[in-house]
Amino acid sequence: MGARIEVAGLTKSYGDLTAVDDLTFTVEPGEFFGLLGPNGAGKTTALEMIEGLRHPDGGSVSIDGHDPWKRDPALQRRLGVQLQSSAFFERLTAREQLATFGALYGVGGDRVDALLEQVGLQDKARSRVEDLSGGQAQRLSIACALVHDPEVVFLDEPTAALDPQARRNLWDFLEGLNDSGRTVVLTTHYMEEAEVLCDRVAIIDHGRLLELDSPAALVRGLDAPTRISLAPGAIDETRARGIDGVEAVEVHPDRTVLSTRRPADVLTALAGLDALDGLSASGASLEDVFLSLTGRKYRS
């Protein structure tokens, strides 16, 4: 089986601004794929062209061999789209809203009720959409994208405005979607989310592809040191710097941090010095990869 989504040389400009610049990648069937980048990187513009909501200036998009811009009803029925910003019908309850979307696809009430429960909105079924909180409205938006049980799902920052508990619960739900064989394309600003959910991620900036690989492979490629944190006073700075494999030592009021690319050797040495008090260790993460590629400058 070939790629489910093929993006080739995708380009979109607005006046002098090139929002998407010769973007090329594929998404495999059943893959959970992340499209990452800072604000203004071109993620949403690229996603909207892939969904068929914007016409590209150049390049092509194919979903199972079909051009999404041509609005093929047979293809559209197989796609689920959750936009970054959604509008609902006024004065409808959450259940009525979801049932209205479902009716467009011939979906019955049982599916509507089950989906409300899955996204944690069963107790808000009779609440009007204008009375929902931002996080609740976001979950309803996701439910609307999934009500017809699509094969390919596009999610543009689905957990924005969700509290940590709701975000974690939604991760479990999204993992279940992917486990059932659906192809999921996600944009998010939460690097931990992408690291947990995505099989592969594409990191873009200024509309161009910077890196594309699994989160684990990208982290390995960064070759960043492991940071070992110890309680203050667990070891003095001079002795810490003398440990073979320690590259740097930072002494803070509440902790001492050792940096090393040989964590096993350093941990063994610390154990021999009885200096394991308050120890915690952290390696590089996808966020470190993201920052190394896109920089730390604020984006508007």
pLDDT per residue of the chain (300 residues) written in tens, 0 to 9: 578 999 999 999 999 999 999 999 999 999 999 999 999 999 999 999 999 999 999 999 999 999 999 989 889 999 999 987 778 888 999 999 999 999 989 988 899 999 999 888 999 999 999 999 888 888 899 999 999 999 999 999 988 878 888 888 888 888 888 777 899 999 999 999 999 999 999 999 999 999 999 999 999 998 889 999 999 999 999 999 999 999 999 999 999 999 999 999 999 999 999 999 999 999 889 999 999 999 866 555
Q: What is the CATH number of domain 5-220?
A: 3.40.50.300
Cβ contact 29:17 at 8 Å = no
Beta strand extents in the chain (DSSP E only)? 5-14, 17-27, 32-36, 58-63, 79-82, 152-156, 183-187, 200-205, 208-213, 226-230, 246-252, 255-260, 280-282
Domain chopping of the chain, boundaries: 5-220, 225-283
The sign of the torsion formed by the CA atoms of 241, 247, 251, 257 equals negative
For residue 287, give both structure tokens.
Answer: 């966020």
* CATH class as words, domain 225-283: alpha beta
End-to-end CA distance of the chain, in Å?
41
- Name beta bridge partners: 186: 34, 155
Stated pTM of the model: 0.86
The sign of the torsion formed by the CA atoms of 194, 210, 40, 223 equals positive
Helix axes 109-118, 94-103, angle to 10 degrees: 130
